[in-house]
Amino acid sequence: MKQIEISEVGPRDGLQSIASIMATEDKKRWIASMAAAGIREIEVGSFVPAKVLPQLADTAEIVRYARTIPGLTVAVLVPNLRGAQDALKAGAHKLTIPLSVSETHSLKNLRRTHEQVMEEVRGIRELLNQLPENERPSFEGSLSTCFGCTLEGPVSEEAVLRLGESLLKAGCDEVGLSDTTGYANPAQVRRLIRLIWENLGRDALNGIHLHNTRGQGLANVLAAVDEGITTVDSSMGGIGGCPFAPGASGNIVTEDLVFLLEAMGYSTGVDMSKLMEARKILAAALPDEPLYGFIPDAGLPKGFQYAGSESPVLA
C-alpha cells in the first residue's frame, strides 16, 4: 500500500495569514491533537522577526515543545540564515526556505532578489554542514509562485527549473513546488513535476504545496500523487494562504485531503475522528476565524474504509 505524507501547515501558513493571534498553550494543544490523530509532519512556525509576524513570535518555544511529541517531524520556515540559526537552536527537524520564482513577488514577500536568497541558502548549508550528519535537519527550497504570480502573471517553467537547480547547487537537499497564488491546474502540476524529475533527478522533489483559492486544490493533489509526489501540504480547516499575494487565500483542507487519499487507497496514517477532535481544539482557540472543509459537515460515506482496512468506519 502506497503511503502519502500529509504535512500540516496550519500552525505556520494558517496562523500567519489571519488577524487573530493564537495563544502559545492553544498552539501546543492543537499541535499535540493533530499528532495524536496521526499527522506525522507539522510545520509549526516561521523564524521571522516578531514585528513582521507577531502571530508566530513563539515559534522557538513551539518547536521545543513539538520535538517532545514522539514520531513527529517538526518543520519550520526560515527566510534566511538568521532564521536557520534560531531553528537549529530550537531543534527543528526540517527547514524550508521559500524562493519566489517571480522576482517581483520575491522582493515584495521576502524583500530579497533571487541572488540574495541563494546567498542565504549557501550560508544555511555551511551552517548545517558544521553539525554531525545525524543531527542535521533536512533542508528544502520551496519554489513559491511557481504556477503563476498575482503580480507578474504567468511564470516560465524554464525559470522554475533553473531556480530549482540553483537551489540544489546552493545547498538545499530538495525543492518543493508551491502554488502560493492558487493559479495551478492539473496539467501544469504534471508538467512541472516531470520537468523537475527529468532534469534534476527523482530525489530532487518530493513535496507539493497547493492552495484552494480557485477550488482546484484537490484536483491538483490528484495530479501530483498520480505522478508520484509523496508529501502533500494542507491546513486544518483550510485556514491561511499567503498574506503578501493579493487575492490569494485558502489552503487545501486537511480533513478533505485525508478523505481523498484514504478513499483512493493511499495510507496517510490519519484517523478522521481524532482529526475532528483536533478541529474542535482549533475552533475553540480561534473563535473568530471561519473554518472550511466539506468532510466536517458531510461526514464520511456510509461503509467508508481506510486504505488497506477491511472493516468499515460507519456501518
| In the complex, minimum distance from the CB of residue 14 to a second copy, in angstroms, rounded to a whole number | 17
| In the complex, minimum distance from the CB of residue 263 to a second copy, in angstroms, rounded to a whole number | 4
Toward a second copy, which CB reaches closer, 55 or 212?
212
- Does an H or E element contain 295, and which? helix 295-298
Contact status, residue 255 vs residue 17, Cβ threshold 8 Å:
no
Distance CA 139, CA 201 (A): 17
The closest of 137, 224, 139, 138 to 179, measured between CA atoms, is 224
Among 263, 276, 283, 291, binds a second copy (CB under 8 A): 263
Q: What is the DSSP letter of 12?
A: I
Candidate list 146, 149, 172, 242, residue with the active-site label: 242
| In the complex, minimum distance from the CB of residue 272 to a second copy, in angstroms, rounded to a whole number | 12
User: Can residue 260 be called a binding residue for a second copy (CB under 8 A)?
Assistant: yes
Distance CA 158, CA 64 (A): 39
User: Can residue 47 be called a binding residue for a second copy (CB under 8 A)?
Assistant: no
Give percent helix, percent strand, percent coil of the chain, each to the nearest 5.
45, 15, 40
User: Can residue 265 be called a binding residue for a second copy (CB under 8 A)?
Assistant: yes
Toward a second copy, which CB reaches closer, 59 or 231?
231
Among 109, 145, 213, 234, binds a second copy (CB under 8 A): 213
Please list every residue from 176 through 205 that binds a second copy, using CB under 8 A: 181-183, 185-188
Q: Can 149 be counted among the known catalytic residues?
A: no
Distance CA 221, CA 311 (A): 26
User: Can residue 222 be called a binding residue for a second copy (CB under 8 A)?
Assistant: yes
The 10 Å Cβ neighbour count of residue 21 is 16
Among 256, 275, 278, 289, binds a second copy (CB under 8 A): 256
First CA to last CA across the chain, in angstroms?
A: 24
- Does an H or E element contain 238, and which? none
CA distances from 46 to 35, 80, 105, 214, 241 (A): 19, 11, 18, 26, 14
- Can you spell out the DSSP letters for 241-291? --TTSTT---BPBHHHHHHHHHHHT-B----HHHHHHHHHHHHHH-TTS--
User: Can residue 170 be called a binding residue for a second copy (CB under 8 A)?
Assistant: no
Toward a second copy, which CB reaches closer, 33 or 212?
212
Q: What is the DSSP letter of 182?
A: S
| In the complex, minimum distance from the CB of residue 223 to a second copy, in angstroms, rounded to a whole number | 7
Toward a second copy, which CB reaches closer, 73 or 254?
254
Contact status, residue 138 vs residue 73, Cβ threshold 8 Å:
no
| In the complex, minimum distance from the CB of residue 213 to a second copy, in angstroms, rounded to a whole number | 5
| In the complex, minimum distance from the CB of residue 144 to a second copy, in angstroms, rounded to a whole number | 15
Binding mask 233-252 for a second copy (x = CB under 8 A): --------------x--x--
Please list every residue from 131 through 160 that binds a second copy, using CB under 8 A: 148-154
User: How big is the site for a second copy, counted in residues (CB under 8 A)?
Assistant: 43
Binding site for a second copy (CB under 8 A): 148-154, 181-183, 185-188, 212-216, 218-219, 221-223, 247, 250, 253, 256, 259-260, 263-265, 293-295, 298-299, 301-303, 312, 315
Q: Which residues are catalytic?
A: 242
